[in-house]
Amino acid sequence: MSDTPKLDFIREIIATDLSSGKHETTITRFPPEPNGYLHLGHAKSICLNFGIAGEHPGAKCHLRFDDTNPEKEETEYVNSIKEDVKWLGFDWGDDLYFASDYFEYFHDCAVHLIKNGLAYVDEESPEEIKLHRGNVQTPGTPSKFRDRSVEENLEKFAEMRDGKFKEGEAVLRAKIGLTSSNMNMRDPVMYRIMHREHHNTGSAWCIYPMYDFAHPLEDAKEHITHSLCTLEFENHRPLYDWFIKNCPVPSTPRQIEFARLSLTYTIMSKRKLLQLVQEGHVSGWDDPRLPTISGIRRRGYPAEAIRHFCKHIGITKYNGTTDVALLEHDIRNQLNSTAPRRMAVLDPLKVVIENFSDEPTATAVIPNHPQDESFGEREVSFSSEIFIERDDFQEIPEKKYFRLAPDKYVRLRGGPIIQCVGFEKNDAGEITLIRTKLLPNTTGKDSPEGVVCKAAIHWVDAATAADAEVRLYDRLFTVEDPDAAEGGFLSVLNPDSVKTVSAKVEASLATEAAGFACQFERMGYFIADTKEHIPGQAAVFNRTTPLRDSWGKGK
């Protein structure tokens, strides 16, 4: 019996490679395409790649921007990706790379393949190429350009590079064969023509490499030992290995695939997230309802809880969907030990304490954490008018309702017991005010004889309370698998995914810095919004998560 946790299959492979002496250490990489913001799926890959780098002496993880496609890459994305990786707690040190810096190398490798009779320029149209590749049942048929001489191929490839062809008029293809049952191996395209500016190389190139050709070369160039990717690349691996075997590479990386992260009630594709942002269904990439790293950060999910979650779900070879409740559980678990407690009333109802002057002190002293004394305690002011939650009063109490009701008692958290002696309604029949009397000197003591008081409720002092805008976030989709919705994922957006309320909060909350995270007692975990909360001017809080999962019970 050992306490060492069982290694996942990737860490097993690495441990074997190190102990056999195949590698002295490991170099992994996280290779995002800078065409969107990172999401929780990327966090899984980041925690795996950077995690491994932290587990062996001399090991490293590169941050590599896979920016070979000139179409949609932007500096905004590069910056956000760096920020997100750092926020998750990882550091690439000096190992920051851009795949576009290797364009010359990719080109040299292509020329090498042509010279060895392993690549050819095909001038068939994209439609013809597609048709001639056949399908899984039918072998492909050779293009009429397949048997060009090495000299002609070199000449034509140079013309491609020199801009002599229009887009779609020619491609460079690997000469592997046309009969493999793996379609990726049927003379795959290596280069296509795109007369586009690239953010790094400008107009230097009008041919751009395909992912399957570029990626193994990027890995080899950086001496990556283990190239970890998601399962959909499993049947691209033979091609990865083919390029490594046939190109002049400085090292031999090994591709290993693992299951991607999918979460219930969540979409995780960059393309769909972009659509939500661009069509205004959310307020931006950092909308707290999105699974983007910037969104969950603003929502108040702690980085440590994300790392814990990624460890918790583990690394396997089988695709599946993880219950988002598991993530939420890890968030609550973490915040339960790190978040100080405060009081905030989200749906305020005014309570008058008629005999307030009978109480000897006008402050309540409340511990900032119920289990952890190191959080200390705070003094909360208290006066003849306070606010409580509207649903902490019932005019006609239902069975087992132990909070405030006519003639009933309730304890104010950290303060005395009060008894309801009356209430007022407006013309619409809504309750507008509760009248109470307090039992002097009951703070911190058992209920006096003859007084039934079974519950404590939170409250804030009306005289000193601050106004706050509080956003109650909920899941963005109403169904477990939004991608499978008949009407598309937009048809299952949750109309109640955010509800903004005007709350009354403890005065000190208004002066806390943006990013301050706490528990509003009985209400959930909240964070002062990093964009709109301005200390002393505008109190804006986001709900990170309620204290309990209300979805499990058939909502």
Catalytic sites, residue numbers: 33, 260, 270
Least spacing, CB of residue 50 vs ligand ATP, in Å:
12
Least spacing, CB of residue 312 vs ligand ATP, in Å:
15
Please say which residue, 37 or 423, places its beta carbon nearer to ligand ATP: 37
Please say which residue, 268 or 335, places its beta carbon nearer to ligand ATP: 268
Please say which residue, 43 or 366, places its beta carbon nearer to ligand ATP: 43
Segment lying near ligand ATP (by CB under 6 A), choices 154-162, 214-222, 265-273, 345-353:
265-273
Please say which residue, 44 or 298, places its beta carbon nearer to ligand ATP: 44
CA-CA distance, 88 to 77, in Å (whole number)? 16
Residue 321 engages ligand ATP in binding (rule: CB under 6 A): no
Residue 466 engages ligand ATP in binding (rule: CB under 6 A): no
Least spacing, CB of residue 85 vs ligand ATP, in Å:
11
Least spacing, CB of residue 376 vs ligand ATP, in Å:
41
Least spacing, CB of residue 273 vs ligand ATP, in Å:
7
Please say which residue, 275 or 447, places its beta carbon nearer to ligand ATP: 275
CA-CA distance, 310 to 292, in Å (whole number)? 15
CA 185 to chain CA centroid, nearest Å: 34
What backbone torsions phi and psi does residue 9 show, to the nearest 5 degrees? Answer: -65, -25
> DSSP letter at 163?
T
Name which of residues 34 to 93 contact ligand ATP (CB under 6 A): 41-42, 44-45
Hey, what are 51's tokens? 């995690």
> Coil, strand or helix: which one is 325?
helix
Q: Find the residue with minimal CB distance to ligand ATP.
A: 41
Burial tier of 516 (Cβ tally within 10 Å: 0-12, 13-18, 19+): buried
Please say which residue, 230 or 381, places its beta carbon nearer to ligand ATP: 230
Note the helical H segments in 116-166.
126-132, 150-161
**Angle at CA 419, nearest 5°, toward 413 and 420?**
115
Candidate residues 32, 188, 414, 524; the one interacting with ligand ATP per rule CB under 6 A: 32
Least spacing, CB of residue 167 vs ligand ATP, in Å:
23
Residue 236 engages ligand ATP in binding (rule: CB under 6 A): no
The CB density around residue 294, as the number of other CB atoms within 10 Å, is: 21
Hey, what are 490's tokens? 């937009």
CA-CA distance, 406 to 418, in Å (whole number)? 11
Segment lying near ligand ATP (by CB under 6 A), choices 143-151, 173-181, 260-268, 503-511:
260-268
Residue 261 engages ligand ATP in binding (rule: CB under 6 A): yes
Contacts of 546 (CB under 8 A, 6+ apart): 523, 524
Provide the strand spans (E) within 368-442.
377-381, 385-389, 409-412, 417-425, 431-439
Least spacing, CB of residue 111 vs ligand ATP, in Å:
27
Number of H helices, E strands in the chain: 12, 25
Please say which residue, 270 or 543, places its beta carbon nearer to ligand ATP: 270
Q: Any idea which residue has 């590079």 for tokens? A: 161
Candidate residues 198, 254, 270, 504; the one interacting with ligand ATP per rule CB under 6 A: 270
Nearest to 346 by CA among 157, 473, 178: 473
Contact 459, 386 (CB under 8 A): yes
Size of the site for ligand ATP (CB under 6 A): 15
Least spacing, CB of residue 313 vs ligand ATP, in Å:
10
Candidate residues 16, 179, 269, 383; the one interacting with ligand ATP per rule CB under 6 A: 269
CA 473 to chain CA centroid, nearest Å: 15
Name which of residues 399 to 438 contact ligand ATP (CB under 6 A): none
CA-CA distance, 477 to 267, in Å (whole number)? 9
> DSSP letter at 8?
P
Note the helical H segments in 185-323.
211-221, 237-246, 270-278, 293-299, 303-313
Residue 229 engages ligand ATP in binding (rule: CB under 6 A): yes
CA-CA distance, 461 to 468, in Å (whole number)? 14
Candidate residues 10, 14, 28, 31; the one interacting with ligand ATP per rule CB under 6 A: 31
Please say which residue, 319 or 357, places its beta carbon nearer to ligand ATP: 319
Which residues contact ligand ATP (rule: CB under 6 A)?
Answer: 31-33, 41-42, 44-45, 229-230, 260-261, 268-271
